[in-house]
């Protein structure tokens, strides 16, 4: 099992759940890509894989190595063993060399790549290794990884939902939830001992990602506007993406905003949660929701602090509801990525009053739906989307869950439940 440094754990090391899944995938695919934001432990995972498999690491973040590989990409295929290429997008010419090797043999387990830009964002990536590359996302740490627990909530809800509701009382206070949302899951941010130091880290992280990784995939004018677009997206986190509103706020063209949003998504500062409407009779009336990749980044861009939330200002509390939803949705999506039976995730919105924040679907068509609320107890209106989806899907609807700060889990109605958010990481 690979570990990632984080001072939030007792011994400074956090087990990454994805490591065993990556090793298993490499048995089936010639090229495995580990892609995700910078500073989440991709390079550490790559070194551990190299040590376990007897491979060699080619670090393209090293200027001298990158120049040598760019001049002669074929050198990466020389020798034996698995070739591990760190930050491959810094010299995308390596894809051509890998393609040449794939034309000779497509046996599994030949290459492992890491990248801090989404594969499809690189111009030559789309066609170079079609059908020969499998991508896994390496994302910020989850709370269950930090806790060293494995509650398997999604698996329980998919198979024995009634049992999933029976669990210990919540051990997390409102302030405890706030602190977790503010800290997020980046290992180096978690290693900061003060809120101020963590805020500086988030600021530097965003600046370096925009300056370095965006330039790897595009040359754009007015790059100085990218942080402003990100701030607007932070204001929309967990909401339906509205590019026109951002364009109006920044007084720039909507086409420019959409291109900037695409770039921010490509370097893993944001991600889109697409509508889930393939099998429902009613058409989804909205586009994708936008989520920042980490709740800590969202809270920093929104300038939401513990002190502001302690003031109990109604506007501030309303603002907190959105990064709180992003925090919970990201936790569930990451747990779903470790579950081989999960086929799809998305969100559903029939109207302003009827929506579901997150839908997890398995390969047999079973659905677990989640609604997220930043309060202690849900109101009656919070169940509308879950009831509507249960009625439309019938037996395919396995469970609907309102995740909130409730002290206990309980069943509200047929297949409709309430669970404390910390059930995602609290041991059973």
Token digits of residue 154: 């999604």
Q: Do 47 and 171 lie in a common domain? A: no
Are 124 and 152 in the same domain?
no
Place of tokens 């809270």: 299
DSSP conformation class of 123: T
Helices and strands (H, E) in the chain, number of each type: 19, 16
Q: Tell me the three state secondary structure of residue 348.
A: strand
Task: Tell me which of 111, 137, 163 is where a domain ends.
Answer: 137
Q: State the Cα–Cα distance between residues 146 and 127, nearest whole angstrom.
A: 38
Beta-carbon contacts of 312 under 8 Å, excluding residues fewer than 6 positions away, are none
SS3 239: strand
For residues 116 and 267, the answer to whether their CB atoms sit within 8 Å is: yes
Q: Do 131 and 221 belong together in one domain?
A: no
Which of 87, 113, 137 represents a domain boundary (last residue)? 137
- Predicted local distance difference test score (pLDDT) of residue 9: 44
- At 11 the pLDDT is 42
Which residues in 51-95 belong to E strands, given as ranges?
56-59, 83-86
Tell me the pTM.
Answer: 0.93
Domain range enclosing 309: 143-424
Domain match, 86 and 157 both: no
Q: How many structural domains is the chain composed of?
A: 2
Q: Are residues 62 and 206 in the same domain?
A: no
**Both structure tokens of 423:** 């059930």
Boundary of a domain, candidates 118, 137, 156? 137
Would you say 397 and 280 are in contact if contact means Cβ atoms under 8 Å apart?
Answer: no
pLDDT along the chain (428 residues), means of 10: 50 77 93 95 94 93 93 86 93 89 91 92 68 91 94 94 89 96 97 94 96 80 88 97 96 93 96 81 71 98 93 86 98 93 93 90 96 95 96 96 96 96 91
Supply the pLDDT for residue 8. 47
Same domain, 90 and 222: no
Query: For residue 245, what are the contacts with CB-CB under 8 A and spacing of at least 6?
Result: 232, 236
Query: Does 165 lie in the same domain as 125?
Result: no
CATH number, domain of 91, equals 3.40.50.300
Rounded to the nearest 5 percent, the helix, strand and coil shares of the chain are 45, 20, 35
Residue 152 and residue 112 in one domain:
no
Residues 283 and 321 reside in one and the same domain: yes
Same domain, 61 and 161: no
What is the DSSP secondary structure assignment for residue 135, as one 8-state letter? E
**Residue 202 shares a structural domain with residue 246:** yes
H/E element, 165: helix 161-165
Distance CA 243, CA 245 (A): 5
pLDDT of residue 13: 63
Cα(80)–Cα(379) distance, rounded to whole angstroms? 61
DSSP 377-419: S--GGGGHHHHHHHHHHGGGEEEEEEEES-SS-EEEETTEEEE
The DSSP string of 174-212 is HHHHHHHHHH-S-HHHHT-SSHHHHHHHHHHHHHHIIII
Question: What pLDDT shows up at residue 1?
Answer: 46
CA angle 260, 373, 138 (to 5 degrees): 45
Residue corresponding to tokens 């009831």 = 387
Judge if 74 and 167 occupy the same domain. no
Q: Which residue has the tokens 């995939």?
A: 217
Q: Minimal CA–CA distance to 86: which of 123, 61, 109, 121?
A: 61
- Tell me how crowded residue 376 is: count the other CB atoms within 10 A of its CB: 12
């Amino acid at each position: 099992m690979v570990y990632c440094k984080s001072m939030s754990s007792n011994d400074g090391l956090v087990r990454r759940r994805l490591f065993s899944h990556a090793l298993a995938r490499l048995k089936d695919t010639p090229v495995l890509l580990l892609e995700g934001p910078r500073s989440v432990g991709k390079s550490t995972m790559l070194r551990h894989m190299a040590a376990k498999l007897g491979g060699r690491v080619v670090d393209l973040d090293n200027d001298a190595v990158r120049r040598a590989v760019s001049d002669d990409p074929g050198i990466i295929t020389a020798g034996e063993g698995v070739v591990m290429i760190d930050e491959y997008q810094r010299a995308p010419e390596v894809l051509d060399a890998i393609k040449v090797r794939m034309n000779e043999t497509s046996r599994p387990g030949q290459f492992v790549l890491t990248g801090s830009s989404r594969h499809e964002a690189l111009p030559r990536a789309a066609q170079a290794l079609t059908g020969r590359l499998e991508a896994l996302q390496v994302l910020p740490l989850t709370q269950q990884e930090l806790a060293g627990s494995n509650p398997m909530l999604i698996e329980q809800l998919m198979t024995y939902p009634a049992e999933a509701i029976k669990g210990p009382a919540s051990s997390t206070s409102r302030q405890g939830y706030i602190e977790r949302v503010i800290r997020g899951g980046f290992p180096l941010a978690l290693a900061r001992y003060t809120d101020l130091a963590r805020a500086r880290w988030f600021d530097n992280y965003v600046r370096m990602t925009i300056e370095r990784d965006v330039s790897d995939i595009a040359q754009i004018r007015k790059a100085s506007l990218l942080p402003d677009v990100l701030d607007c997206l932070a204001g929309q986190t967990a909401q339906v993406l509205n590019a026109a509103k951002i364009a109006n706020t920044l007084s720039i063209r909507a086409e420019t905003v959409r291109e900037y949003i695409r770039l921010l998504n490509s370097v893993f500062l944001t991600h889109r949660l697409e509508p889930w409407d393939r099998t429902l009779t009613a058409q989804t009336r909205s586009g994708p929701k936008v989520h920042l990749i980490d709740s800590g980044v969202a809270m920093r861009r929104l300038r939401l602090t513990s002190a502001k939330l302690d003031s109990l200002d109604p506007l501030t509390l309303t603002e907190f509801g959105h990064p709180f939803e992003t925090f919970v949705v990201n936790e569930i999506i990451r747990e779903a990525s470790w579950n081989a039976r999960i086929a799809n995730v998305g969100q559903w919105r029939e109207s302003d009053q009827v929506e579901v924040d997150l839908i997890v679907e398995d390969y047999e068509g079973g659905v677990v739906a989640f609604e997220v609320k930043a309060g202690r107890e849900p109101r009656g209106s919070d169940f509308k989307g879950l009831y509507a989806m249960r009625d439309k899907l019938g037996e395919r609807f396995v469970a609907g869950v309102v995740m909130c700060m409730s002290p206990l889990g309980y069943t509200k109605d047929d297949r409709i439940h309430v669970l404390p958010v910390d059930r995602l990481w609290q041991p059973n």
